[in-house]
C-alpha cells in the first residue's frame, strides 16, 4: 500500500478501477443499510429499491426515455452552440493581445454573474420555448469556456512561435499550423470539462415552463414529495454526464496519443 501512496505515483489501470468500484460499493452498502434499518426516514432518503422501482415504471410508460432524449438534445445543442462560438473567440484572445484587451473585461465580468439571475430576462427576451432553455445553457457555459480556450492557446511555448517565424511563417500560418494543432489537446480537455458544466445547468433550464426533460421531472417530483424520482433524475443526469466524460477522454487519447498530460 505504501508504494501506491507516493506523490503522483501512477496506478495500474486495474487497480484504479478496483479502487473506484470499491468506494462506490461501500457507499451503496452504507446507503442500503441506513435505509433498510429504518435509521433514515424514506421521505429524506429513499431506499435503493424504491429508485429501481421508479426507474422500471419510467421505462414501462416511456417517460424516462422520453425525458432523457429531450434533455440530451438540449444539452447537445446548447453545448455545441457555446463551443462553436468559444473556440474562435478564445483562439483570438489567446493569440492576439489586442482581442484579449478588447474582450476579456466583458467576458470576465459576465462569467461571475449567477446564471439563475438571467432566468427572468431570458423569459422576457425569448419567451418560454426551447430558445430560452438553450440561452441559459449557453450563458452558463460559453463565458467560462472562452477563457479556458484562451488559456489553452496561451500555453503554446513562445520559443516555438519564434522558431516558426524564423522559417518564414506569417501570423496566419503560425496560427493555423502551429498554435491550433498544439492547443487542440488542451481544447479537447476544456470541452470535456465545460460539457459537464452544461449538465449542471440542465435543471435550471428545464424548471421554467417545461413539459418534458429530466430537469422538469425532478422539479415535478419535488412538488409532489417523491424523493425516489428526484434521485432517479439526478442519477440519470450523473450517469449520462459520466458516460460523456469517458467518451471525451477516449476520443482525446485516440486523436492525441502523444498528449497524455492533458487529462485532469
- Give pLDDT tens digits for 75-101: 999 999 999 999 999 999 999 999 999
Residues of the chain with pLDDT under 70: 209, 260-264
Q: Going by C-beta distance under 8 Å and a sequence separation of 6 or more, which residues neighbour residue 260?
A: 253
CATH number for the domain whose boundaries are 48-255 = 1.10.3720.10
For residues 225 and 47, what is the distance between their CA atoms, to the nearest angstrom? Answer: 15
For residue 38, the model assigns a pLDDT of 83
Q: Are 201 and 115 in contact (CB under 8 A)?
A: yes
Residue spans per domain, the chain: 48-255
For residue 260, the model assigns a pLDDT of 61
For residue 262, the model assigns a pLDDT of 45
- 3-state SS track over the chain: CHHHHCCCCCCCHHHHHHHHHHHHHHHHHHHHHHHHCCCCCCCCCCCHHHHHHHHHHHHHHCHHHHHHHHHHHHHHHHHHHHHHHHHHHHHHHHHCHHHHHHHHHHHHHHCCCCHHHHHHHHHHHHCCCHHHHHHHHHHHHHHHHHHHHHHHHHCCCHHHHHHHHHCCCCHHHHHHHHHHHHHHHHHHHHHHHHHHHHHHCHHHHHCCCCCCCHHHHHHHHHHCCCHHHHHHHHHHHHHHHHHHHHHHHHHHHHHCCCCHHHCC
Q: Three cell numbers at 140?
A: 452558463
Amino acid at each position: 500500500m505504501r508504494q501506491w501512496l507516493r506523490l503522483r505515483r501512477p496506478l495500474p489501470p486495474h487497480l484504479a478501477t478496483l479502487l473506484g468500484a470499491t468506494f462506490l460499493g461501500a457507499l451503496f452498502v452504507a446507503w442500503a443499510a441506513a435505509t433498510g434499518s429504518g435509521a433514515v426516514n424514506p421521505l429524506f432518503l429513499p431506499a435503493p429499491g424504491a429508485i429501481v422501482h421508479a426507474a422500471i415504471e419510467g421505462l414501462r410508460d416511456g417517460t424516462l426515455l422520453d425525458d432523457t432524449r429531450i434533455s440530451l438534445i438540449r444539452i447537445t445543442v446548447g453545448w455545441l452552440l457555446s463551443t462553436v462560438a468559444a473556440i474562435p473567440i478564445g483562439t483570438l484572445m489567446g493569440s492576439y493581445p489586442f482581442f484579449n484587451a478588447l474582450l476579456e473585461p466583458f467576458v470576465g465580468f459576465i462569467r461571475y454573474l449567477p446564471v439563475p439571475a438571467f432566468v427572468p430576462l431570458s423569459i422576457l427576451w425569448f419567451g418560454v420555448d426551447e430558445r430560452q432553455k438553450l440561452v441559459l445553457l449557453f450563458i452558463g457555459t460559453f463565458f467560462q469556456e472562452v477563457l479556458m480556450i484562451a488559456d489553452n492557446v496561451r500555453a503554446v511555448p513562445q520559443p516555438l512561435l519564434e522558431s516558426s517565424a524564423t522559417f518564414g511563417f506569417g501570423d496566419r500560418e503560425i496560427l493555423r499550423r502551429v498554435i491550433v494543432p498544439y492547443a487542440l489537446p488542451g481544447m479537447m480537455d476544456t470541452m470535456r470539462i465545460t460539457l459537464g458544466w452544461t449538465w449542471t445547468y440542465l435543471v435550471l433550464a428545464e424548471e421554467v415552463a417545461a413539459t418534458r426533460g429530466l430537469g422538469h421531472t425532478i422539479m415535478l417530483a419535488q412538488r409532489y414529495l417523491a424523493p425516489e424520482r428526484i434521485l432517479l433524475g439526478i442519477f440519470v443526469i450523473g450517469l449520462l454526464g459520466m458516460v460523456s466524460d469517458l467518451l471525451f477522454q477516449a476520443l482525446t487519447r485516440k486523436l492525441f496519443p502523444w498528449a497524455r498530460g492533458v487529462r485532469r
